[in-house]
Amino acid sequence: MIGIPYSWGGGGVRGPGFGIGKGARTLGFDCSGLTEYAWARAGVHIGTTTHEQWRSGIRVAKEQVEPGDLVFYDSDPGSPGPEHVAVAVDATRMVHAPYTGQVVRVDALDRRTFMGVIRPSETSANLDPPA
């Protein structure tokens, strides 16, 4: 999915999709749509929003991050919970849909807004598959 445009509210279990608001005319992914798609391909339903995904597995230490883990960032300390999610490529890199005007890409995992790591699994994801 590298190179697919960012689309606010876009994408999900079926792949890229048209978003809402700023993303209404762009076929692509927002951050949680990309992670939802990746995990759905593995048969695990983690939810559609960053907040749902934050609760979709077990927390692991940053030092124990593995490929596929969800990596969360809190870019707005005034709002509870994470605002951004990415998929770990390895211990130092992530793939994510960063923001409007950008495309899905690989970036460094270490950022000052780092919040935590979740490892979803068939048994730990707490959400039903989408209809």
106 within some domain: yes
pLDDT score of 124:
60
pLDDT score of 111:
95
84 within some domain: yes
Strands across the sheet with 93-96, in order?
57-60, 114-120, 70-73, 84-88, 93-96, 105-108
Structural domain boundaries, residue 68: 17-120
User: What b/e string do you get for 42-67 counting C-beta neighbours within 10 Å, with b at 16 or more?
Assistant: eebbbbbbbbbbbebbeeeeeeebee
Q: What string of pLDDT tens digits covers the 131 residues of the chain? A: 999 999 999 999 999 999 999 999 999 999 999 999 999 999 999 999 999 999 999 999 999 999 999 999 998 888 888 999 999 999 999 999 999 999 999 999 999 999 999 999 776 654 555 55
12 within some domain: no
CATH number (domain holding residue 55): 3.90.1720.10
Q: How many domains does the chain have?
A: 1
* Tokens 């890199």, located at residue: 93
Q: What angle do CA 105, 30, 85 make, to 5 degrees?
A: 75
pTM for this structure?
A: 0.92
